[in-house]
Structure 1
Amino acid sequence: MNTHNDIMKKTFAALLTALVTLPATAAVVQTTGAGSATPGATHLTFAADFEANTHLDSPWSEGGLQFTHTGFANDNGGCGYAGEFCVDVPAGQTYSESFSGNYFATAGTNAYLSIKSEGPKLHGIEFAVDSGYLNIHVLWQTWLDGVLTGSGKVSLGAAGIGDVLALSDMAGFSEVRVFAFDSASDNSGYSAPAIDSVRAFTVSEPGSLALASLAGLGVAGVRRRRKG
């Protein structure tokens, strides 16, 4: 049986291989599972965990990223604090262990969470994701300067368990939008997404990840158990 570290290493290796071998015009690659590229000399990492967002502000800037949402006005209707009932967690379960402390959430008709770079375009991003529904059905989009560059869907099981969603594209993107519907077949309707533990990076040169790998990049898990 694979250990948690084995799974993290395999996920990171798959994402690393995809980034190194993809041409600049390649489509977005979607990966799931815990595992995050460790910051190194050849790429700059952005990170956000929303712990300082005690008023549930939107827009919210942290770690070189800007977060906004559509849907609930002002304080997300109370969603975004650890311990708040913003995710429909099955009886006997707690929130996703990928979440800890404050997080970023919304709900509403076609509501989505937006993650934007405040500097250079991004080549990869990972974030813990959960849903206000009993099951997690995510629709994601990547954008570059206002132009849609990719989209996809992923089902991650029951809310309260959650998982990490990773997206990579060597052509780069400047924004990610995250929706969460109640069915894998839905493309619109009431949406209730939640994210935490965001990690993003940009690559200085197409081959820099390969060089970084040879230099001995490590793996850092982003799963953290919710406190309380």
Structure 2
Amino acid sequence: MFPKIRIRELKPINLEEGYLIDGFPTVGFTSAIATESMIHTSQFELAGVIDSESFPPISIVKNGEPNFPTRIFVNNNLKIGIFLSYLTLDQSLHKVTAKTMLDWSKKHKVGLIVSSIAIKSTSGDEEVIGIGSTESARNKIKEAGLKVLDHGIIPGIPGMLLNEGSISKQDVVVIIFHTDGNGPDFKSSTHLCMAMSKLIPGASCNIQSLQKEAEKAEIMIKETQEESKRLDSMYM
């Protein structure tokens, strides 16, 4: 039996020829922290929730209000959507998550999907590299002033987005950044946020508030992961 992922839209969404950011965490918490910062910097609204029987039954309580751990935020004026998640998904869910994201993007006629993946590094390397699913996507990377990856392996949800996007001709850009994988990693969050801003007109990050958001997001993501593991052991 294959896992299914459901998307429930709560508000009208207009992303035609716009952008979708994949905020599912990979190594560390940088992608979730960067997207959370972007949401707080610009006028994004909660526009949907993402759920699955395969997700842990958890509610994230913020400012007294319950929230799904995986949500969709949208700024219709900028035509930017964000899939924000506090869940680090099991590998068995990567393909179906990527396919769900691509199907949803096709439904809303999204022009470009931007994902990211971290490479663990303790050398302090700050170079940000991009890989595109199509020639058009690769041109967007060059126009943003980023280096294009020639050879490498991209695993997980970003890898599946690239593969499927190359077949369906959906523009997908995956940003590759370096992280030490420890702590909130303010530096790598800043580099990722800046790279996204170069690819997506109107997207911005408040660098001054990013460190505070990084610390808060890290605590919330860690608590979610620990609770997920505890629930898994209860149901086994």
Task: Tell me the TM-score normalized by structure 2.
Answer: 0.28
* Larger relative contact order (Cα-Cα within 8 Å, sequence gap ≥ 6): 1
Task: Tell me the TM-score normalized by structure 1.
Answer: 0.29
